[in-house]
Amino acid sequence: MMPEQEIATREKQEVQGAEKTRAGRYFVPAVDIRENENELKLWADMPGVAEKDVEVSLNDGMLTIIGKVSPAVYDKLSPLYTEYNVGNYFRQFELNEDVDETRIKARMRNGVLEVELPKRERARPRRIEVTTA
Amino acid sequence: MALIRWEQFDPVGSMLALQEELGRALRNPAFNLGLSAYGAYPPINLFDDGEGLVVMAELPGVEPASVNLVVQRNTLTLTGSRPRDEAKEPGAFHRREREFGEYSRSIQLPEGLDLEKTSARFEAGVLTVKIPKSPEAKPRQIAVESA
């Protein structure tokens, strides 16, 4: 077995491009995407986001992920020293694969979003019975 | 009175951005904060909540029970590992941005904390450690008697 690698921190990147109508900071979550013949699976690191504050949607082949952090956590805290920024998460992917929207599943566990995107079953060849008159 | 909405004002965002700038200046080795090198994992934020010190660390994908937290002689040490969660299933990766592996982090705590009363919580991938000030370090109101 390979020795476990040590983790290094990467600074959070703020979302570039089209501005959101709602102000507040949005960061790009780190994502893994894996594909096999049956499905696409996506994981996104979104620490600080509770299950109820995640939004996953698929619109015209565009997968959108939004995670909101609760500002209430920081209500009575004054920072002494900070190494990471706190903000919401936003990321979009255009899906090339034909995904069955009705079977998408998403769950949140320990600050990681996991999305299962099953591929649509191919239309099966149908045999047409030929009957004699 | 004008109502300031959170989304417009975003005090945490601007506050942390300012702190980030400050932090950059303080990362200069001329300042000794007793903190590990920048870029160490997990990233840590320190706060004062009025009652004492609050240490927060982002550890997404880590099982709460696997976090090893030790406080000893004014040093708080945080160790553990984040195992890959998707290794067993077949398939090809299109993206692989998340980090896995072992982590270890120590920070020096300031004086005047009641380490016995340290409490920790892990929620949604964020570890929060609270260490209250020791009674001696809290401001005490002294009643002034008239003669």
Domain span at residue A109 reads 26-71+85-118
Among the listed residues B3, B43, B42, the one whose alpha carbon sits nearest the alpha carbon of residue B19 = B43
A93 occurs within a structural domain: yes
A100 occurs within a structural domain: yes
Residues of chain B with pLDDT under 50: 1-9, 29-34, 36
pLDDT at res. B23: 60
Give chain A positions within 8 Å (CB) of B101.
Answer: 4-7
CATH of the domain at A46: 2.60.40.790
User: Residue B68 corresponds to which tokens in the numbers above?
Assistant: 């090893």
Domain count, chain A: 1
Q: Report the residue from A4, A79, A109 with minimal CB separation from B16.
A: A79
pLDDT digits (tens, 9 = 90+) for A72-101: 888 888 888 888 888 899 999 998 778 888
- CB pair distance less than 8 Å for A6 and B23: no
Q: Exposed e or buried b for every residue in A40-63, given b needs 16+ CB within 10 A? A: bbbbbbbbbbeeebbebeeeeeeb
DSSP string, A10-71: -PPPBPPSSPPSS-S-EE---EEEEE-SSEEEEEEE-TTEEEEEEEEEEETTEEEEEEEE-G
A91 occurs within a structural domain: yes
- CB pair distance less than 8 Å for B124 and A71: no
Domain count, chain B: 1
User: Residue A120 corresponds to which tokens in the numbers above?
Assistant: 């649509």
Q: Which candidate in A4, A6, A7 is best for mutational testing of the B interface (most B CBs within 10 A)?
A: A7
B59 occurs within a structural domain: yes
B52 occurs within a structural domain: yes
B28 occurs within a structural domain: no
CATH of the domain at B125: 2.60.40.790
Residue A7 has pLDDT above 80, yes or no: no
Rounded average pLDDT over A111-115 = 95
pLDDT at res. A41: 92
A78 occurs within a structural domain: no
If you average pLDDT over every residue of chain A, what do you get?
84
Strands A31-35 and A105-109, sheet pairing: unpaired
A49 occurs within a structural domain: yes
pLDDT at res. B131: 94
Rounded average pLDDT over A116-130 = 76
Domain span at residue B54 reads 34-84+100-137
Q: Report the residue from B19, B43, B125 with minimal CB separation from A112.
A: B125
pLDDT at res. B29: 47
A9 occurs within a structural domain: no
Q: Rounded distance, CA A19 to CA A23, Å?
A: 8
pLDDT at res. B8: 45
In this structure, are residues B132 and B115 in contact, taking their beta carbons and an 8 Å threshold?
Answer: no
B129 occurs within a structural domain: yes
Angle among Cα B78, B129, B113 to the nearest 5 degrees reads 100
